[in-house]
Amino acid sequence: MHKLINPVRITAYTLTNALGSGVDASLYALQTEQSGLRACDFQDVALSTWIGRVNGIEEQPLPATLSRFECRNNRLAHLALQLDGFSERVYAAVSRYGAERVGLFMGTSTSGIGATEAAYWQRDEEGELPNDFQPATTHIIYSITDFVRHYLQLKGVALTVSTACSSSAKVFAAAQRYLEAGLCDAAVVGGVDTLCLTTLYGFNSLGLVSSDRCKPWDAHRNGINIGEGAGFALLESEQAGGQGCLLLGCGESSDAYHMSTPHPQGLGAAMAMRQALLQAEIAANQVGYINLHGTATPSNDAAEDAAVMQLFGAEPPCSSTKGWTGHTLGAAGVIESIFTLMALEHGFLPCNLNTEQQDEALSANVLLKREQRDIAYAMSNSFGFGGNNCSLLFGRGR
């Protein structure tokens, strides 16, 4: 059968999260097993939990010309875009293809909702919000795309995907389709989510926040740690050349089960993983590493374990990297995709940090120690509220 969608090459990437700014900070922390989690010190939040906070956001406002976008989320995007020569690579793509031919696909879950939280604190005696509140360029989920499009001076197709914790995995699938349809010649994909009261107190209200460091797949796992982060990648056609890894397959599915609980047998998760393999034309036993969604809630890990076992069995090494960064929600897809690219490029499989003893009820081959092993193919999983699932299959450059 004719292949519906061709692979695309990842020609540049960058990320910023609790491990630090830029690719080297994340790689060093993963290789030396240093977590970015800390006891919660975000604003005056009184929850007993751990968070993955990015240092320095508070001290680095946006340039005056972009002040209408001023909020924590756009600040973090701005910080991340200045690293690893990423913006320069995008500018080079713009000069190669034209600004109209470079698409932008951003994922976020809460965008700059922190700006609205702050505005509510500043209501006057009549209950009115401050006059300088600018929701369209801060809070509204398109604002992150609007900001990045301005900053990178892109004029091609653009959109924001907001499907909770799968948001910035799905931007890869969207970009691959737009490239295939010939609507752009290159695509910037990214994800940015920042700490805010809504997610900290919201996940806490659902009983999903751990008072300990999160321990994916552990017998005593009891919830997530919320993190923040930003990641960006530049996608071009495979013929673009270079040594960059390839996005070979994307799988997207819906659980059709529950708003905030995954299907217990991981039905939708398995569908997404199977579809990614099918699109990539790769057999399950060729996959050398799976970066799990692995949030460390009892039900999420159990559902994902069931799905992995159904498709792959206990063979491929797996790990969740939430123990390093916390759960960066709408940024998790792209950040963990970049971790997966690092595994392919460096032959380095990160362990499941913080996990002491694997739950006996879970059977996947979860790495408790890091491994050095050359792999050709690796998968990254992202699953979100609303039963929204996305799996991405990457391969080493060829």
Partner 1 sequence: MKPVYIEAMGVVAPGLNSWQQAATILRGDDDYQAGDLPALKPDMLKPNERRRTTLTIKLALQAVQDALSTNRYDDLSTVFVSSDGDMDVVDRICRALCLPDHPVSPTFFHNSVHNAPAGYCSIATGFHAASTSLSGLNGSFAVGLLDAAVQAAVEQRPVMLVSYDTPWPAPLARFKPGRQPFGVAIIIQPQLRKQSLVELILLPGEGGDESQMINSQLEQLRVAAPAANSLPLLEVVAKKCAARLVLPYLVDEHITVEIKSCN
Looking only at the bridges linking them, the beta strands covering 289-291 and 50-52 are unpaired
Q: Which residues bind partner 1 (CB under 8 A)?
A: 4-5, 100, 109, 113, 116-117, 119-121, 123, 127-129, 133, 135-136, 139-142, 145-146, 149, 157-164, 170, 173-174, 177-178, 180-183, 197-198, 201-206, 252-260, 267-268, 271, 384-388
- Give the length of the chain: 398
Residue 263 appears among annotated catalytic residues: no
Return the number of the residue (136 or 361) whose C-beta is nearest partner 1. 136
- Least spacing, CB of residue 96 vs partner 1, in Å: 18
DSSP assignment of 206-235 equals TT-B-SS---TTBTT---B-EE-EEEEEEE
- Least spacing, CB of residue 103 vs partner 1, in Å: 10
Catalytic residue among 293, 318, 351, 390: 293
Distance CA 236, CA 215 (A): 36
Instruction: Specify which residues 233 forms β-bridges with.
Output: 13, 189
Spatial contact of 54 and 76, defined as CB atoms under 8 Å apart: yes
Return the number of the residue (28 or 120) whose C-beta is nearest partner 1. 120
Distance CA 294, CA 229 (A): 17
Return the number of the residue (180 or 238) whose C-beta is nearest partner 1. 180
**Orientation of helix 23-32 relative to helix 332-346, angle to 10°:** 70
Catalytic residue among 40, 71, 165, 196: 165
Residue 165 appears among annotated catalytic residues: yes
- Least spacing, CB of residue 197 vs partner 1, in Å: 5
- Least spacing, CB of residue 211 vs partner 1, in Å: 17
Spatial contact of 311 and 284, defined as CB atoms under 8 Å apart: yes
Return the number of the residue (59 or 126) whose C-beta is nearest partner 1. 126
Catalytic residue among 78, 139, 263, 327: 327
Distance CA 88, CA 256 (A): 42
Spatial contact of 77 and 144, defined as CB atoms under 8 Å apart: yes
- Least spacing, CB of residue 390 vs partner 1, in Å: 8
Q: Which residues contact 32 (CB under 8 A, 6 or more apart)?
A: none
Phi then psi for 303, rounded to 5 degrees?
-65, -45
Residue 220 appears among annotated catalytic residues: no
Looking only at the bridges linking them, the beta strands covering 371-372 and 246-254 are unpaired
Helix, coil or strand: residue 197:
helix
- CA distance readout (Å), 174 to 159, 286, 356: 9, 25, 38
Return the number of the residue (38 or 155) whose C-beta is nearest partner 1. 155
- Least spacing, CB of residue 127 vs partner 1, in Å: 5
- Least spacing, CB of residue 306 vs partner 1, in Å: 16
**Orientation of helix 86-97 relative to helix 143-152, angle to 10°:** 70
Return the number of the residue (145 or 358) whose C-beta is nearest partner 1. 145
Return the number of the residue (29 or 169) whose C-beta is nearest partner 1. 169
**Orientation of helix 72-81 relative to helix 143-152, angle to 10°:** 30
Instruction: Specify which residues 186 forms β-bridges with.
Output: 102, 236
Q: Which residues are catalytic?
A: 165, 293, 327
